[in-house]
Amino acid sequence: MMYASKPIVSAMLAATLCTGFVIISTTALAQETPTSQVAKAGWYSKLVTIDLVKQQAVIPKIDGVMLIDSRPTVRKFDLGHIQTSINIPDSMFDKLAPSMLPPDKNTLLVFYCDGPECMLSHNSAFKAEKLGYTNIKVYADGYPDWVKGGNLPSVSVAYLKKLMDEQAPFTLIDARPKARKYDLGHIPGAVNLPDSQFDKSAAEVLPADKAAALIFYCDGLACKLSNDSAAKAVKLGYTNVKVVPEGYPAWVNAYGVGPTAASTGTAVKAPTIEAGKEAGTISVASFERIFKEAPESVHLIDVREPQEFATGTFKGALNMPINSLEKNVDKLPADKPIIFFCGAGGRSGEAHDMVKLYKPELKTVFLDAEIKWTKDGTYTIKGH
């Protein structure tokens, strides 16, 4: 609920509800929105609530407002923050603020950190005031309140890269159009589920396990496709959903252009699937070549139990336990070849045989190999 202390703001809010358009400037709202928090000793006195922050933290990003996360980068901000916010750790404020804060000293600055017991945002707010900024607020309830309020957590591309390097189990979804965006370059390992096709294709792309980690991205702070798709995934019952608001542009800036499915009008040819010793298998050498050179050219499906999947798996793999595969066989993706795997080859072979019986039109193979994953994300594989 939005609180307003002046009649004119109430009237404007009513107009907003009737028309569906936000007509109140965020700067004015910051000046008129009181807070339920009572300032404590050492706090910055000008406080705001989640209602104001929700008006500011929108995609596409609005001008004239800067949300600032005062927490440490790697331990806090990268793992989860309020969308559109920048990170200026309070310990680095004096060094980073001159280059990161806006030149206009009247810009609305809203600082936050880890809740009422966290002083970092208040410390930074006082420092900003000393620099001459005149429109400063503190969201004292901070990031915990943001998540508690049902808002999507945002993660950084640095955290995304860390998950990839550790081969953590998650599904990365590119919500952009296929031909015009995804095919021309995407984050490695991402599957494409255009937001316009979400309702039609989600069941074919997203994992069956509603507790599986999903991370959505699109084209940066001007693009709302990933937020829209993430919200749809939550409505479908997925409970571990995050977004990378800075999206593909931030990835390119940090790590370079990602793999393409089309370049200069010519599709990139994926490595050939070479058969192993047993019918229906893929050789270990062929698998490792595909996994290294073109992981986006296949679907990797881990048929072990969720608790096994959680201890380690191949980057980008989906989890569909063998005991639930038969009832979910219609949810298997049909756009690319499927490679089934487990820890020893038994369950993956069973998955391949089951799909050949019920959906023979799908192209599937399985890894007949002993595979072990370590906590740091590396693995060993030995074919039978």
Give the tens place of pLDDT for each residue, 134-159: 999 999 999 999 999 999 999 999 99
pLDDT at 383 over 90: no
Q: What pLDDT is attached to residue 179?
A: 84
Question: Which band of pLDDT confidence, cut at 50, 70 and 90, is reported for residue 74?
Answer: very high
Give the tens place of pLDDT for each residue, 323-332: 999 998 888 8
pLDDT at 86 over 50: yes
Please give the Cα distance from 323 to 315 (Å, whole number): 22
Residue 123 phi/psi, 5° resolution? -60, -45
pLDDT at 9 over 70: no
Q: Which two tokens stand for residue 139?
A: 């969201």
Strand, coil or helix: what is 120? helix
Give the tens place of pLDDT for each residue, 218-237: 999 999 999 999 999 999 99
Q: What pLDDT is attached to residue 376?
A: 66
CB 221 within 8 A of CB 84: yes
**If you average pLDDT over each of 6-20, 30-44, 99-113, 294-308, which comes out highest?**
99-113
Q: Enumerate the domain spans of the chain.
A: 25-148, 153-257, 269-384
Q: What pLDDT is attached to residue 258?
A: 78
pLDDT at 8 over 50: no
CB 203 within 8 A of CB 213: no
Please tell me if the domain spanning 25-148 has the same topology as the one spanning 153-257: yes
Please give the Cα distance from 192 to 182 (Å, whole number): 7
Output the CA–CA distances (angstroms, integers) from residue 256 to 115, 247, 252, 275, in the order listed: 36, 13, 4, 33
> Does residue 25 or residue 249 have the better pLDDT?
249
For domain 269-384, the question of CATH label 3.40.250.10 is answered with: yes
Report the candidate in 66, 70, 76 with the shortest Cα–Cα distance to residue 124.
70
Class of domain 25-148: alpha beta
Residue where the block lists tokens 């490695």: 188
Q: What pLDDT is attached to residue 336?
A: 85
Omega of the bond prior to 60 within 30 degrees of 0, cis? yes
CB 9 within 8 A of CB 32: yes
Question: Which band of pLDDT confidence, cut at 50, 70 and 90, is reported for residue 256?
Answer: confident
> Does residue 287 or residue 167 have the better pLDDT?
287
Question: Which band of pLDDT confidence, cut at 50, 70 and 90, is reported for residue 369?
Answer: very high
Q: Which option is the CATH number for 153-257: 1.10.10.10, 3.40.50.2300, 3.40.50.10860, 3.40.250.10?
A: 3.40.250.10
Q: What pLDDT is attached to residue 36?
A: 46
Please give the Cα distance from 361 to 228 (Å, whole number): 32
Angle between helices 157-165 and 247-255 (to 10 degrees): 70
- The gap between the terminal CA atoms of the chain, to the nearest Å, is 62
Q: What is the mean pLDDT of residues 113-118?
A: 95
Q: What pLDDT is attached to residue 193?
A: 95
Q: What pLDDT is attached to residue 103?
A: 94
Least confident among 16-30, 112-126, 181-195: 16-30
Q: What is the mean pLDDT of residues 203-213?
A: 91
Q: What pLDDT is attached to residue 271?
A: 65
Q: What is the mean pLDDT of residues 343-361?
A: 92
